[in-house]
Structure 1
Amino acid sequence: MRKKEMNPSLKFLLTLIISLELSFRVSLITNLIVCALALIFLLYKKIKSKDLGAMLFAAGLAAFTVFTSGYWFSDHPNLWYALDIASRVFVYTLTTACLTITTTAEEMARSLEQNLHLPSKFAYGTLAALNIIPKMAAAVKQIRVAGMMRGVYLSFWSPTLYFKAILVALSSADNLAQGMESHGYVEGAPRSTIVEVPLTSKDWLYFLAGVVLVNLCAFLLP
């Protein structure tokens, strides 16, 4: 894997730490700083305007709901606190977007296995689940089309649709297990590393700098 970004595992940990830190600390200015930096990073990475707009719209709806619950419908309304908890929605959304826009599922799985020593069965199982989602969506569409050809409309909430989808999923899981075994995968057996995910001192430097800056802002800024 060509080294371009911070190590995926450290990016994941940094995103998690920022989210947890700001979940327990009331600091509206820190939230706004994090959101601004994350937004600048996404624009630098040339995120599609359509995707960014849809993401901000969905986050805005959630933030508005949180704000109304924390301010308009509170027995002791506090505008600053309501704005803080509403801005956290954008923090979670934008920081997660920064992670996903620069890291593929394959890179993340390899990094978790190599750098955080996640068992290979979980890493490969996660990859298998993510890769099978498009096939499952196509299978559900095919089931609905087949039903309409027989004059049966299977709605989104139809139990029959989900029952048939479960049968397809079970069949796909069995085929996937056989495919992994045929390619030499044995649970618990030592495996060679085809693509190495490096973890350098530069990655740790960026990670620690991010953690320190967030903590300084969270404890020094209101």
Structure 2
Amino acid sequence: MNPSLKFILAFIVSLEISLKASLTTNILVIAFALVYLLVTKTKLKELLLLIILPFIAAFTIFATLYWFSPTPDPYYAWNLSTRVYVYTLTIACVTRKVTATDFARSLERNLHLPSKFAYGVLAAINIIPKMRMAVNQIRTSAMMRGMYLSFWSPALYFKAILVALNSADNLAQGMESHGYVENQKRSTIVAIPLTKKDWLIFFTLLILVNISLFCFK
């Protein structure tokens, strides 16, 4: 399915579920997401992390509304706690088999967003590993001078901001040297297709979710 349509579908479903309470729909969406992740051969370790990590937030919400509320409501507690898994698993489905490059290209070609936005998102994602390396180098350099920069140290973030500004300038120069010109039409190296099948899947899933929302509690 087209990356942009997957993102829009997940956004609409998450928004509708947050506005309309339906425990049955939450469970159906969670089940469908898990089946999709299994069909696409998600690693067992990744699947377990998607189930275990949100459990803390889901359990906290359930405990607050069921055990520590003056008027306990089991249905409302289950409804809000399962929403955590809906949001987590739908995002996991969106990112499954979709690279950052494909998503950025889809935003530009299919949603017709400005190319500077698409390339900016792609640049921000790709620069994260370099920023981690830069932060480690800053902390190592400080330790060699007898200084310890903790995670919350203002000096660490000040130096990291300077590195980020320098990297942004280098990135801008690199894009210009490769022929990037803002607001100019660009050729398509790799096309991201948006087919009738994608639209059919999109509207089918959206209609089914809405039917479940308004027909089941």
- Pairing partner for 1:12 from 4, 7, 12: 7
Shift in Å, 1:102: 2.0
Deviation at 1:141, TM superposition (A): 0.7
1:176 equivalent among 171, 179, 194: 171
Pairing of 1:59-208 with structure 2 (within 5 A): 59-208=54-203
Equivalents in 2 of 1:185, 1:160: separation in Å? 35
1:49-74 CA-partner distances (Å, limit 9, x unpaired) = 22222222221111111112222233
SS for the counterpart of 1:12 is helix
How far apart are residue 48 of structure 1 and its match? 2.1
CA RMSD of aligned residues (A): 1.0
Normalising by structure 2, what TM-score?
Answer: 0.97
Q: Distance in 1 between matches of 2:68 and 2:101?
A: 44
Unpaired runs of 5+ in structure 1? 1-5
State yes or no: 1:40 paired with 2:32.
no
Pair 1:214 & 2:216 matched? no
- Please give the alpha-carbon distance, in whole angstroms, between the structure 1 residues aligned to 2:143 and 2:50: 34
Give how far 1:16 is off.
Answer: 0.6
- Taking the TM superposition and a 5 Å limit, the aligned residue runs for 1:19-34 are 19-34=14-29
Paired amino acid for 2:21: V
Runs of 4+ aligned structure 1 residues displaced above 4 Å come to none
Consecutive unaligned residues in structure 2, runs of 5 or more = none
Identity across aligned pairs (percent)? 62
For 2:110, give the aligned amino acid. Answer: N
Distance 2:185 2:42 in 1: 39
Q: What is residue 54 of structure 1 aligned with on the other side?
A: 49
Q: CA deviation at 1:145?
A: 1.0
1:207 partner amino acid? F
The alignment covers a number of residue pairs equal to 217
SS of equivalent residue, structure 1 residue 157? coil
Residues in 1 aligned to 2:50 and 2:16: alpha-carbon distance in whole angstroms:
22
1:3 equivalent in structure 2: none
**Residue 171 of structure 1: SS of its match in structure 2?**
helix
Residue identity opposite 1:46 in structure 2: K
TM superposition shift of 1:153: 1.1
My pick for the range that moved more, 178-187 or 40-49, is 40-49
